Amino acid sequence: MDYKETYEKILEEYRQVFERVDQQNMREFIDEVKAHDRIFLIGVGREGMATRAFAMRLMHMGKEIHWIWDDTTPSIGEGDLLIATLGDGRIGHINYICERAKEAGAMIYVVTGSPSGDTAKNVADKVFFVPAAVYRGTDDVVPSFQPMGNLFEQCLLILFDIIIMTIVDETPDLTFEKMSKNHRNVE
């Protein structure tokens, strides 16, 4: 397979995923993100990296953001939102964190490619379904020729960026220029 053939196949997979994303489901996720000023996030591996990028952009927007495993993460509680990404829906330690956060009164939003997974079915208050092939996934999603969870991870990053751009577009006092003032200046 040559380079052009490879990227064309990947772009076709993206198109299929984005066309299958339920717009109402995405709208509900956007509305919850907009409604919460204090948001905690968790994810592992490459999908965790996409989630950390999302956390950074939320911070740039002025929200109070915490990554679950940072040493400076405070307690979670009533009125807080926990966004957990777990592609296959059954990552034990993320499930455990979601259970503890729910017990503390936080809202749990699971972002997954496998809504039949235990955390989405048994712990989440709401689920944002990204219909892209995930590593060890079992749900009906867009299949991929790429290895493991590549398609889910890549689409997750792009969808999170689309969500940020949507929120900025819908928020009168928020601009990318204002967000850039929150960008780290000690690099």
Convert the pLDDT of each residue in 93-136 to its tens digit.
999 999 999 999 999 999 999 999 999 999 999 999 999 999 88
Q: What is the spatial distance between Cα 40 and Cα 150, in angstroms, rounded to a whole number?
A: 24
For 82-99, b/e burial (b = at least 16 CB within 10 A) is: bbbbbbbbbbeebbebbe
Cβ–Cβ under 8 Å, residues 81 and 39: yes
Residue 21: predicted pLDDT: 98
pLDDT for 11: 95
pLDDT for position 174: 87
Question: Is the Cβ–Cβ distance between 98 and 126 less than 8 Å?
Answer: no
Q: pLDDT for 59-77, tens place per residue?
A: 999 999 999 989 999 999 9
Please indicate whether residue 88 or residue 166 has the higher confidence score (pLDDT). 166
Average pLDDT of the residues of the chain: 94
Q: What is the pLDDT of residues 21-59, one digit of tens each?
A: 999 999 999 999 999 999 999 999 999 999 999 999 999
Asked whether the predicted pLDDT for residue 137 surpasses 90, the reply is: no
